[in-house]
């Protein structure tokens, strides 16, 4: 049995990528780190994707997570925004798979439901509940994208062993078997 598991949660975005890391020892969660990568300042989408890939690799190399959990892009009205979010998620997935770290995707509603019990909770409600769950005196960041990344990690812990309505991959072969339509 594993004595400690480290989970990296990522909320991929093209303006801000939020991430949080938790450690789980004997069923007890503890926050390791929470932060964000500000991407608004970069001139083009390709540069932003490069920094998402590099940051994800750097987090994996520094903290050695056992698993990575990602927020899946949601379906919105703006197709261009969805495409950019999908690329950001794909780059974070590729970095994780490059380091052979298993990944799992969660929908925004599933994350909110796992943290607050309400799939339509606000970002502020999610942050408040995380502060309570992790026994934080104050929330360590002002960016709600960072708390969303932490929420993905906590959601993954709560769903370990009972995962439904999610996609999980242990490597490129696993990804391609579960997504044959993405192979050209």
Q: Is 173 a catalytic residue?
A: no
Where in 26-153 does DSSP place strands (E)?
Answer: 28-38, 67-71, 103-106
Q: What pTM, to 2 d.p., does this model score?
A: 0.85
33-74 tens-digit pLDDT: 999 999 999 999 999 999 999 999 999 999 999 999 999 877
- The verdict on whether residue 36 carries a ligand-binding annotation is no
pLDDT at 117: 94
Residues of the chain with pLDDT under 70: 1-2, 75-76, 161-176, 178-184
Q: Is 145 a catalytic residue?
A: yes
Catalytic site residue from 36, 67, 71, 105: 71
pLDDT at 163: 43
- The verdict on whether residue 66 carries a ligand-binding annotation is no
Total number of domains in the chain: 1
3-state secondary structure of 168: strand
Q: Is 181 a catalytic residue?
A: no
pLDDT at 168: 59
- The verdict on whether residue 11 carries a ligand-binding annotation is yes
Cβ density class 66-79: b for 16+ within 10 Å, e for less: ebbbbbbbeeeeee
3-state secondary structure of 10: strand
Phi, psi of 76 (to 5 degrees): -120, -175
Supply the CATH number for residue 99's domain: 3.30.420.10
pLDDT at 164: 44
**Residue 148 structural domain:** 5-182
């Amino acid at each position: 049995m594993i004595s400690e598991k480290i989970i990296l949660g990522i909320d991929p975005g093209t303006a801000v990528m939020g991430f949080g890391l938790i450690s789980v020892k004997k069923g007890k969660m503890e926050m390791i780190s929470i932060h964000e990568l500000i991407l608004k300042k970069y001139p083009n989408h390709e540069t932003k994707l490069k920094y998402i890939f590099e940051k994800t690799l750097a987090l994996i190399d520094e903290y050695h997570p056992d698993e990575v959990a990602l927020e899946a892009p949601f379906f919105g009205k703006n197709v261009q925004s969805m495409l950019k979010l999908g690329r950001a998620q794909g780059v974070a997935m590729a970095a994780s798979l490059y380091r052979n770290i298993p990944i799992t995707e969660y929908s925004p509603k599933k994350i909110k439901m796992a943290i607050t019990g309400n799939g339509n909770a606000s970002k502020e409600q999610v942050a408040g509940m995380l502060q309570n769950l992790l026994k934080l005196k104050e929330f360590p960041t002002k960016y709600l994208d960072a708390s969303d990344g932490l929420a993905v990690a906590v959601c993954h812990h709560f769903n370990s062993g009972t995962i439904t309505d999610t996609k999980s991959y242990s490597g490129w072969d696993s990804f391609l078997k579960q997504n044959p339509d993405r192979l050209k």
